[in-house]
Amino acid sequence: MSGHTDNSVVIDAPLDLVWRMTNDVASWPRLFSEYAATEVLERRGDTVLFRITMHPDEQGRSWSWISERTADRTAATVRAHRVETGPFKYMSLFWEYEQTEQGVRMRWVQDFEMKPTAPVTTEDMAARINHNSAGQQKLIKERVEAAAMA
C-alpha cells in the first residue's frame, strides 16, 4: 500500500520571495521548526543534494537523511526524493507554487511507502505527515509574510 498526502497553504507575499525563501535549503532550519540542520552536499544546476537533520525526538534520537531536490523556476515546481530512504521504501515529493488573488498557493504532495520493518505503517505515516505539514506550512506562511512586511 502506498501513501499519499496533499497539503497547501496560501502565503500573502510576492511569488519571488516565497520561491526564494522556501527553496533556500541551507536556511531551512530558520524556516522549519523541525529541522536542526541542513547541509548542502552538492549542487548541479537547479539540483541540490543535501542532508537534513531533525531535532531530537522524545527519546533523544536525532533522525537524518539525504535528499535530492530539483527546482524548476519557470514551471514553479520542485521535485525531490529521499536518497537515503531510512524506514521508507521510497519517498517522492512535489512542490507547486501558484499565484492566486489571495497570494501564493504553495502545495506539497508526498508519495511514499513504508518498509515492512518500519516502526509505523504507511497509513500512520500519512496521518503524521498530514498533521506535521499543516503545522510547518502555517509557520512558513507566518515567517515569509513577516519577511514580506520587513
Q: In 3D, which of 129, 119, 102, 117 has the Cα closest to residue 4? A: 129
pLDDT score for 142: 98
What is the rounded distance in angstroms from the CA atom of residue 120 to the CA atom of residue 84?
Answer: 18
Four-point Cα dihedral 122, 106, 143, 22, nearest 10: 80
pLDDT score for 60: 86
What is the rounded distance in angstroms from the CA atom of residue 117 to the CA atom of residue 112?
Answer: 15
- The C-alpha cell that represents 31 in the structure block: 524556516
What is the rounded distance in angstroms from the CA atom of residue 49 to the CA atom of residue 135?
Answer: 25
Provide the residue ranges of all domains of the chain, joining segments of one domain with +. 3-149
In angstroms, the Cα distances linking 1 to 80, 92, 123, 124, 125 are 21, 15, 8, 12, 12
The CATH superfamily label for domain 3-149 reads START domain (3.30.530.20)
Contacts of 16 (CB under 8 A, 6+ apart): none
pLDDT score for 41: 98
Angle between helices 15-22 and 122-149 (to 10 degrees): 130
Q: In 3D, which of 58, 117, 69, 63 has the Cα closest to residue 91? A: 69
pLDDT tens track of the chain, all 150 residues?
799 999 999 999 999 999 999 999 999 999 999 999 999 999 999 999 999 999 998 888 888 999 999 999 999 999 999 999 999 999 999 999 999 999 999 999 999 999 999 999 999 999 999 999 999 999 999 999 999 999
